[in-house]
Amino acid sequence: MQNAYKLLAQQLEISNNKAKELIDKGMVYVADKKVKIARALLPDDTRFRIEEMGDIKIIYEDEHIIAINKPAMMDSYDIQDAIEGSELLHRLDRETSGVLLLGRDQEFIKSAVEEFKARRVKKEYIAWVEGIIYEEIEIDTPISTVKKGKAVSRIDKAKGKPAFTKVKPLEIQGKKSKVAIEISTGRTHQIRVHLASIGHPVVGDGQYGSRTLSSRIHLHSAKISIFDYTFEAPQPKEIEKYK
């Protein structure tokens, strides 16, 4: 038995630090199960699989704004670092794909951030969730977040901040539902927490109750409108059709 990161480093012939980084980024699997703890003890004959990240694709850019089709398994800040002179206008969770916006000049960035704060930015998502959703649902429950290491959010009617999510059914496949989601607020893990709170966690979201093993959380930022801009990102194959 050895630590997962040491076994991975040996198999890939990389440094221990690089192996830990791959595990921390959620890219390492044994069969269909994600390796979540770098120091977990695993048998010496364990075989790993690395889930590769997609490329950064620019949807649109001008002197003020850049719209990216963010691949799943990539940190929003890594994209900011990769595009010189850009600054994130908002963030997407690492496993969430789709439209991500960055600003180029400080005056525009300041105005755009105010649009987000004023809830004038329209954000539309697509997700696969556990269970069957037949009708439109509106979720209006406050959320609080604890950010000690890994962020964790929860429904908190006493101390939480307002959060509103609208869910519309699109398709049913087996015991899973594909839904369109619109949010007017942007709390940490808002969609994931709200859907889990009504018994329909996002497929693959073990943190908030999904029992389905998956290479990613099945959540995609499909469309964002801000000022006179509207940007859309096509659904990746695992979102377009579930299995």
State the catalytic residues: 93
Residue/partner pairs of 162-165 with CB below 8 Å, 24 or more apart: 163/139, 163/187, 163/190, 163/194, 164/138, 164/139, 164/140, 165/138, 165/139, 165/140, 165/190, 165/191, 165/194, 165/195
Q: Which helix (H) or strand (E) holds 58?
A: strand 57-61
Strand order in the sheet with 49-50: 33-34, 28-30, 49-50
Closest CA to 237 of 72, 79, 100: 72
Here the tokens at position 121 are 């930015």
SS3 state at 25: coil
CA–CA distance, 234 with 231 (Å, rounded to integer): 10
